Chain A
């Protein structure tokens, strides 16, 4: 079982000024869950209406395919899997005057 990222550290250093930021993702997870629970009845109703009235078939080609892919449980699982695989990711770009550092913990 992979654990989701807990923190994201961002550090941007300019020529004169710089700032560092610690984004506590572990605080966003309960918030996201609460929002998902709050909106789930609405999402369910929207899905039933879409299916009953066959609205999805009226959406033109590529948008319909994209919607189908985005709304499928498999894609949600895969996206969550990617999100939970990000801990350990580090990106650092710097030149003489500036530096950008992003780290997912």
Chain B
């Protein structure tokens, strides 16, 4: 129990504050970010692990009834992305360097050859917050994880 919590209880015992006020103060102390160790804090709900990457391409609002309007819906399992990234480690040295160079030219600093499994896991975990929406006159592209 922290000093602040003790003070609140003392104030309650001295009848300086009501039970409701003490309860509110104690709750506020529990959620306080700078609260000292040992105080309880409500746990943030654990994020569900992303299972699939979904890519959808739908025709734009003005092209919905076009003859060639296409609807594309692709669901890729995250495990396939993880395994697919491991395929890059099979690239022969010279080819791997060329790929890294080409990615660098596009502003992506990714060394495919020195990628560790932890890096791949981190990258996939970061995808959990990914949501891309591209809307133009012709089509609507959505990329998200689920």
Residues of A within 8 A of B (CB): 2, 65-66, 69, 72, 74-75, 78-79, 81-82, 84-96
B83: Cβ under 8 A from any A Cβ: yes
The B interface is mostly helix, strand or loop, or mixed, namely: mixed
Contact assessment for B90 and A89 in the assembled complex, using a CB-CB cutoff below 8 Å: no
Contact assessment for A89 and B70 in the assembled complex, using a CB-CB cutoff below 8 Å: no
- CB-CB under 8 A from B90, the residues of chain A are 69, 72, 74-75, 78
Contact assessment for A90 and B71 in the assembled complex, using a CB-CB cutoff below 8 Å: no
Contact with A along B50-71 (1 / 0, CB 8 A): 0110000000000000011111
Contact assessment for B74 and A95 in the assembled complex, using a CB-CB cutoff below 8 Å: no
Contact assessment for A96 and B67 in the assembled complex, using a CB-CB cutoff below 8 Å: yes
Contact assessment for B74 and A92 in the assembled complex, using a CB-CB cutoff below 8 Å: yes
- CB-CB under 8 A from B4, the residues of chain A are none
Contact assessment for A78 and B70 in the assembled complex, using a CB-CB cutoff below 8 Å: no
Residue from A78, A89, A95 in contact with B76 in the complex, judged by beta carbons closer than 8 Å: A89
Contact assessment for A95 and B69 in the assembled complex, using a CB-CB cutoff below 8 Å: yes
Contact assessment for A81 and B51 in the assembled complex, using a CB-CB cutoff below 8 Å: no
Closest to A81 in B: B83
B133: Cβ under 8 A from any A Cβ: no
Known: A78-B86, A94-B70, A96-B69. Contact between A89 and B92, CB under 8 A?
A: no
Contact assessment for B71 and A94 in the assembled complex, using a CB-CB cutoff below 8 Å: yes
Known: A69-B92, A74-B90, A81-B86. Contact between A86 and B80, CB under 8 A?
A: yes
- CB-CB under 8 A from A92, the residues of chain B are 71-74
Contact assessment for B69 and A85 in the assembled complex, using a CB-CB cutoff below 8 Å: no
* In the bound complex, CA of A66 to CA of B90 (Å): 10
29 A-B residue pairs with CB within 8 Å: A2-B79, A65-B94, A66-B92, A69-B90, A75-B90, A78-B83, A78-B89, A78-B90, A81-B86, A82-B80, A82-B83, A82-B84, A82-B87, A85-B77, A85-B83, A88-B52, A88-B75, A88-B77, A88-B80, A89-B76, A89-B80, A90-B74, A91-B73, A92-B71, A93-B70, A93-B71, A94-B70, A95-B68, A95-B71
Contact assessment for B70 and A95 in the assembled complex, using a CB-CB cutoff below 8 Å: yes
Closest to A2 in B: B79
